[in-house]
Structure 1
Amino acid sequence: MRVLGLISGTSHDGIDSAVVDWTLGGGVLTGTIAHVGERPYEPGLRARILAALPPNRVDLGEVCALDTLIGQAFAGAAAEAPPCELICSHGQTLFHWVEDGRVRGTLQVGQPAWIAERTGAPVVSDVRARDVAAGGQGAPLVSYLDLLLMAGLPAGRGRAGALNLGGIANLTVREPALAYDTGPGCALIDAAAPPYDEDGALAAAGAVDAGLLDRLLADPYYRLDPPKSTGKELFTPDYVRAELPLPDLVATLTALTAETVAAEIRRHRLDTVIVSGGGARNPTLMDMLRARAAPAAFVTSDALGVPADGKEAIAFSLFGWLTAHGLAATVPSCTGASGARVLGTITPGSGPLALPEPLAEAPVAIRLSGSPAAGR
């Protein structure tokens, strides 16, 4: 089954897409990646999304408009991808409601009807809500893919983890299975040096302010036990307001991400870390992280057949396949839910909704291959 995964993450810069052709045999799910791509948000829409994020406040009229406009943008991204049998859309998170460490609700907008109408394909959407309703954090859902990928690592890799450096950083640990948001990934760096610190050049030119870094590290979030999740509701632009030269501020925020991630890698005594996300392309951040997390070895997800910039879109393609086959896509020990759940709601396409026969058993391993660059 060819499934298109679509997601815009906490960097709010555009829509990542991935088409994967999935086949299951002998418990191994094989995915042939036919396309990965990115469609930047139109500048005016991105400005409206950023204006709707905390601590800003918007009315329901703007929420309605964003639901439509983001849905249309996702439909445009879907139309640019190769044809597929099913689409799984994450949409755009506008709010992740957390109180006392418990997720009360989560809001992703981007009306899936626009995608179904534009492409004619059925659409799985609203994938986080069911896990939240089951008592989970609704994040990081990518832990399901992470654990399958790590199952294929050679035994000599030792204790393994998977790290995604998006707007928010999240870590998945293989044994015991555990996943959570460690804190900011690139979100604060991007806010200080919009749209981002290209190649980590600003951070490399600056000096870390030890006093500011210590104050930032005092945030109570870092002391919470997993499972836990966070977002720009906590790590707002107020974090980047400091009386420092811009290079020093960016260097300090980069060090904050490196130190908070490295602390968790040290905590779990990880030997090998599979890294993905936009932050994996920031050499200054990665150098800081390696220095703080030594002797852990870092390998990009590209080495396992998963493009570092397209991993989350590939994960949502996987979630669509799982939902279509009646299989759960969550790991309770990773999200904190009371049990594994089949995720999402389905919007029919242009024809009658016809799903495959449900599968009795989930895959135990995954193998990914293909030449995604050809689909860009």
Structure 2
Amino acid sequence: MNIIGLMTGTSADALDIALVNIALTADDVLELRLLDAGEIPFGDDLHRDILRLLSPEPVPLSLLSSVDGRLGRFSAHAVQQLLARTGAGCQLIVSHGQTVRHDVDAGAVTSTLQIGQPAWIAEATGIPVLSDVRARDVAAGGQGAPLVGFLDQLLLADAEEPTALLNLGGIANITVVAPGQDPLAFDTGPANALIDLMAARLTDGRADHDHDGALAARGTVDPGLLAALLEDPYYARPAPKSTGKEHFHAAYLDEQLRTHPGVAGADVMATLTALTARTVADACRDHGVRRVIASGGGTRNPVLMDQLRAELGEDTELTTTDAALNLPEGAKEACLMALLGWLSRHGLPGTIPSATGAATATITGRLSPGAEPLQLPPPLTAAPRGLRIVV
């Protein structure tokens, strides 16, 4: 079946969209063909208002409602354009939406909220839409994040040594797959979240990320600031765990800079980049990882990748999903949404308790019917045992 996956991540700057064909082979392996993929930047107004929702300051309920509808219509238009451009059919759309709250109390997630009203997508396309893919895992006692564990487990089904699939978005997360062990997945801390904030300040808002790491490359890591950042209690918490911009936000960065006055802007950029590299590498070392396969926008930052390679050391290989799996780094999370849709449509759980901390595996999401009455195939009784990316 053809499925469209939509993903809006913690960077909150664009909509990732992918059209994939997923088929189950006779040997119980999924074959995923990426038919089309892209990244569609938000307009300035929508981008600004999403960032307002991600800040810790109170916002009016009218803003939440407005962005919910506008993001839903933006997503619907993106799907219509993709279908018109490709001429392809599609049986299901999976929309993650934008996470605007992920509430954690003493390490337990009490609520998670994604917006981007799916009814607009279903009405505009006539195709069923699966949405709200995190809430059921949270209700089962899980973190609701990262959800990528099931995909990563299938991709690394034949791994012969401890391997981590790493996503460098606004927040960094890893899935560790090792022979004979249950997969483990968790957020390691900020990837681009703090880097983007500082880059916007240094460019008077003209850029919200450090193109090619140019700003960080001009600076020098400040040892005192880096040490203070590394003292955040989040890094010492055991996995599974999750975090987001409700923790690593502008006020958090301001407080760190107030206690370390006089650090030049370029040096702050270098230090924040070093923070991402150090915390990811520490997490990988803690779990004996010998190979790291990275995806996400952070892979386009050569300074970050060079620092991460140095932090991991010569005994740990660092590569990308493009090189290792034939999966474009920018399309991975949209492909994840498509996979979760395939699993839910066939009555199969899309979560792994060892990865999220939930009491049980859960079927993800809720469905908005399209133009026709909703019809589901007979449920499958066994999960696929692997996944191949077909080029």
Instruction: Give the structure 2 partner of residue 121 of structure 1.
Output: 127
The amino acid across from 1:84 in the alignment is C
Check 1:37–1:222 CA distance in 2 against 1; reply closer, same or farther (3 A cut): same
**Greater mean alpha carbon deviation, residues 307-316 or residues 235-244:** 235-244
> Which of 295, 301, 310 is the matching residue for 2:321?
301
Instruction: Give the structure 1 partner of residue 113 of structure 2.
Output: 107
Instruction: Give the structure 1 partner of residue 345 of structure 2.
Output: 324
Secondary structure at 1:193's aligned position in 2? Answer: helix
Alpha carbons 1:152, 1:366 under 8 Å: kept:
no
The amino acid across from 2:82 in the alignment is A
Using the alignment, how far apart are the partners of 2:37 and 2:378 within structure 1? Answer: 28
Instruction: Give the structure 1 partner of residue 331 of structure 2.
Output: 310
Using the alignment, how far apart are the partners of 2:126 and 2:158 within structure 1? Answer: 36
Matching of residue 62 in structure 1 with residue 63 in structure 2: yes
Q: After TM superposition, list the pairs within 5 Å mapping 1:181-260 onto structure 2.
A: 181-194=187-200, 195-241=208-254, 242=257, 243-260=262-279
Per-residue CA deviations over 1:68-91 (Å, capped at 9, x if unaligned) read 111111112211223411000000
Using the alignment, how far apart are the partners of 1:316 and 1:27 within structure 2? Answer: 20
> Which of 135, 138, 151 is the matching residue for 2:157?
151
The amino acid across from 1:240 in the alignment is L
The amino acid across from 2:72 in the alignment is G
Q: 5+ unaligned residues in a row in structure 2: which ranges?
A: 84-88, 201-207
Alpha carbons 1:150, 1:161 under 8 Å: kept:
no
Runs ≥4 in structure 1, deviation > 3 angstroms?
none
Secondary structure at 2:70's aligned position in 1? Answer: helix
Instruction: Give the structure 2 partner of residue 374 of structure 1.
Output: none
Deviation for aligned residue 1:357: 1.9
Deviation for aligned residue 1:240: 3.4
Deviation for aligned residue 1:245: 2.0
Instruction: Give the structure 2 partner of residue 357 of structure 1.
Output: 378
Q: 5+ unaligned residues in a row in structure 1: which ranges?
A: 371-376
Alpha carbons 1:240, 1:249 under 8 Å: kept:
no
Using the alignment, how far apart are the partners of 2:198 and 2:77 within structure 1? Answer: 30
Using the alignment, how far apart are the partners of 1:267 and 1:250 within structure 2? Answer: 26
Matching of residue 292 in structure 1 with residue 311 in structure 2: yes
Instruction: Give the structure 2 partner of residue 73 of structure 1.
Output: 74
User: How many residues in Structure 1 have an aligned counterpart in Structure 2?
Assistant: 367
Aligned residues with identical type, % of pairs: 51
The amino acid across from 1:185 in the alignment is A
Alpha carbons 1:170, 1:182 under 8 Å: kept:
yes
Matching of residue 273 in structure 1 with residue 276 in structure 2: no
Alpha carbons 1:3, 1:86 under 8 Å: kept:
yes
Q: After TM superposition, list the pairs within 5 Å mapping 1:129-140 onto structure 2.
A: 129-140=135-146
Alpha carbons 1:31, 1:368 under 8 Å: kept:
yes
Q: TM-score, normalised by structure 2?
A: 0.92
Q: TM-score, normalised by structure 1?
A: 0.96
The amino acid across from 2:7 in the alignment is I
Per-residue CA deviations over 1:232-280 (Å, capped at 9, x if unaligned) read 0110112433342221111010001000001011111211111111111
Using the alignment, how far apart are the partners of 2:71 and 2:234 within structure 1? Answer: 30
